[in-house]
Amino acid sequence: MARISILCLALVVSMSSAAFGFAADSKNPSTSEPQQMEDFNIAGYDGKGQKTWEVQGASMDMAGNDVKVSDITAHLYGNERNKENMVLTADRGQFDRATGKVRLEDNVRAVTDTGAELTTSVLDWSQKDQVISSDEKVNISRDNVTAIGEGLEAKSDMKVAKLEKDVVVTMQGNGQASSATKTQGAAETKSSGPGKMTITCDGPMELDYEHQVATFEKNVQVTGDEDQGSMVSDKMTIYFSSQTKQIDRIVAEGHVKITRDGNTSYSDSAVFTAADRRVVLTGRPHLEIFTEEGSGLSHVSP
């Protein structure tokens, strides 16, 4: 997405003074006079005449190697004609001609054709590495997952995004009970999968949209709806179904603690499968079960 701004600004800078009425002094850019342009619209085309990008802006101010743009709206198109892959908007932007880096500031928003949306206050783009990054708070949402964290690093296609620290992820499930049947006079409830979950971690956390995987590290804590309980571990990997976009499996590793209905389990690792809502504990598992009789607490170990 930032490539759009880079290409746009590079094109403007390279244009002759006959086209736009200005030119920078390449030998001594620091002493060149500031140049301005208002309400500009620039597009780029491939060798077949198909539009690949388009940028609109309210104003552009260029002084030496620094190019400043206000009210940016950028569009990136894919291989299919007129198919828009990404839209990027920001109140302000600054392009460094010497390093090829772009900084977008204030109300930065990026939306992809796959439905991912990113918002932040500051976004940096490296043309050389094809990487977008930010040291500020970032919000990413797609499908039923919203992720908030401080610090971002991602490729420009947003297929993989990493939040560095203080991560909070909210996952909206597809509900709890989906049907009820009678089994020997008793009601048996069939679950359609986990409900809403909130996951926090110290970070980093990586969202891999291409492979439908989310990885959380350091002090991972999961809380769910009232009947789901909570889970704590050192690391957690969540796998999503590519069809339903819902949680398919959760793998927790390191100092796993699960609390539900007043009972607590401890293990080195645990695997939760959403289809049957089953948890398998491995690595020295033991349980603390509260009972109504006796001391009220009993220990169970394999």
Q: What is the mean pLDDT of residues 281-299?
A: 70
The residues, any chain, with a CB within 8 Å of residue 225's CB and separated by 6 or more, are 173, 176, 194, 195, 196
Alpha helices in the chain (DSSP H): 2-14, 17-20
What pLDDT, on a 0 to 100 scale, did the predictor assign at position 293? 56
Statement: residue 82 has pLDDT above 90: no
The pLDDT tens digits of the residues spanning 242-286 come to: 888 788 999 999 999 999 888 899 999 999 998 888 889 999 888
Could you tell me the end-to-end alpha-carbon distance of the chain, in angstroms, rounded to an integer? 54
pLDDT classification of 112: cutoffs 50, 70, 90: confident
pLDDT band at 9 (very low <50, low <70, confident <90, very high): very low
| pLDDT exceeds 60 at position 295 | no
Q: Which of 141, 201, 134 is nearest to 172 (CA)?
A: 141
Give dist(CA 44, CA 225) in Å, integer: 50
The pLDDT, as a whole number, for residue 80 is 57
Q: Write down the pLDDT at residue 302.
A: 55
For residues 50 and 56, the answer to whether their CB atoms sit within 8 Å is no
Write down the residue that tokens 């009210």 correspond to.
Answer: 71
Residue type, 191: S
C-alpha to C-alpha distance for 219 and 202, rounded to whole angstroms: 6
Reported pTM: 0.74
- Give the mean pLDDT of the chain: 76
Taking 60 as the threshold, does the pLDDT of residue 50 lie above it? yes
Q: Of the ranges 78-82, 160-164, 227-231, which one carries the lowest mean pLDDT score?
A: 78-82
Kindly state the DSSP code that residue 9 receives in the 8-state scheme: H
Length reported for the chain: 302
Confidence bin at 192 (pLDDT 50/70/90): very low
Residue 26's CB is within 10 A of a number of other CB atoms, namely 11
- All structural domains of the chain, each given as residue ranges with its CATH number in brackets, are 1-127 (2.60.450), 130-302 (2.60.450.10)
| Confidence band, pLDDT 50/70/90 cuts, at residue 11 | very low
- Asked whether the beta carbons of 146 and 159 are under 8 A apart, the reply is no
60/273: higher pLDDT: 273
Cis amide bond preceding 29, omega within 30: no
What per-residue confidence (pLDDT) applies to 174?
Answer: 57
Tens digit of each residue's pLDDT (9 = 90 or more) over 149-184: 999 998 777 888 999 999 999 987 654 433 333 333
